[in-house]
Amino acid sequence: MAEKKIIAVIGATGAQGGGLVRAILNDPNGGFAVRAITRKKDSDKAKALAKAGAEVVEADLDDAASLKKAFAGAHGAFCVTNFWEHFNADKEQAQARNMADAARATGLKHVIWSTLEDVRRWVPLTDKRMPTLGGKWKVPHFDGKGSIDHVWNDLGVPTTLLLTSFYWENFIYFGMGPKKDKDGNLVLTLPMGNKKLPSIAVEDIGKCAYGIFRKGREFIGKRPGIAGEHLTGVQMATAFGRALGKQVSYKPLTPEQFRGLGFPGADDLGNMFQFYADYEVMFSGARGVESTRALNPALQTFDQWLAVNKDRIPID
């Protein structure tokens, strides 16, 4: 039997990369093996990956030499940065450059770069609809990723630019789910007006990435976008209501109200939602549900995700 192609997975202990690790391990005859990259081989999550059958290797995105070692001998790599660890888009870009350099140095045959749009292509810094942040960004955690997309091509690395979507897990971990108002009624508040939000179960991002590695050459040089569904606030509130067995209503905030919520990153996320809403057709159009299902036939709907996760959503 041919030797398995190794996929080095950045963010293997996290949400996107973890889904890809599990997708590879769950398909032992698929022709791929997984190398899980982490800064901390001794963490519980890294140990669990090793126990599940992954090769676990230490590297740090801030340390180019460690990435070269970690990518050596691999067929491909899944590359993701974690903006929310440091809130610094310049740092994300330096990390992306380090990964691209390492990919070129080690001759990888296929990289997936987990990216998002550079919002400034649609909303230039001179556009007063939303504030400019940090002097040079509109949506820092989008712009930093999207405006470094070129580095892979510049270095001649065979790459798929994967446009991801809003995770439904944000309703669990990011405090974005329905909350009780002062009268005890459950209310979903998102600054989306009546526009549709392309969104996905994060585990499905990893499964789609696996589908892309399986299809291989067909996806090199492409920029596929993925989503589980495109849903309005009313549709999401109705689905929450069905799952929770309680009335849930949708109350759209304005982007200004959302930016004013004051938690770290509220301005970045307020601008993001405004971009989603103002560019609904382009943004959803770049993330077709049927093309996503073609990569990942097990793609979940929001109802299916809620059926499994409804008790994990903090609503008090």
Question: What residue ranges bind ligand NAP (CB under 6 A)?
Answer: 10-17, 38-40, 43, 60-62, 80-85, 141, 164, 166-167, 170
Question: Nearer Cβ to ligand NAP, position 56 or 239?
Answer: 56
- Closer to ligand NAP at the Cβ: 83 or 273? 83
> In the complex with ligand NAP, which residue's Cβ is closer, 31 or 68?
68
User: What's the closest the beta carbon of residue 59 comes to ligand NAP, in angstroms?
Assistant: 6
The residues with which 55 forms a beta bridge, in sequence order, are: 35
Question: Which residues pair with residue 230 across a beta bridge?
Answer: 198
* Closest distance to ligand NAP from the beta carbon of 141 (Å): 4
Please identify, using beta-carbon distances, which residue of 17 and 211 lies nearer to ligand NAP. Answer: 17
Neighbours of 60 (CB within 10 A): 16
Query: Cβ distance 37 to 62 under 8 Å?
Result: no
Residue 166 CB, nearest approach to ligand NAP (Å)? 4
Residue with smaller CB distance to ligand NAP, 55 or 60: 60
Query: In the complex, what is the shortest distance from the CB of residue 36 to ligand NAP, in angstroms, rounded to a whole number?
Result: 9
Beta strand segments in the chain, E: 5-9, 32-38, 55-58, 76-79, 110-115, 159-163, 166-167, 179-180, 186-188, 197-200, 229-231, 248-250
Beta strands in 94-148 (DSSP E): 110-115
C-beta of 231: minimal distance to ligand NAP in Å? 14
Distance CA 256, CA 98 (A): 36
Q: Which is nearer to ligand NAP, 159 or 199 (CB)?
A: 199
Per DSSP, the residues of 27-60 read -TTSSEEEEEEES-TTSHHHHHHHHHT-EEEE--
Placement of tokens 């712009």 in the chain: 143
Beta bridge partners of 225: 163
Beta strand 110-115 pairing with 179-180: unpaired
Cα(161)–Cα(112) distance, integer angstroms: 6
**Cβ 66 to ligand NAP shortest distance, Å:** 8
Pick 174 or 185: Cβ nearer ligand NAP: 174
Q: Which residue reads 């996320």 in tokens?
A: 269
> Please, which residue, 18 or 252, has the CB nearer to ligand NAP?
18
Closest CA to 269 of 186, 183, 166, 145: 166
Shortest distance, position 82 Cβ to ligand NAP, whole Å? 4
**Shortest Cβ contact with ligand NAP: which residue?**
14
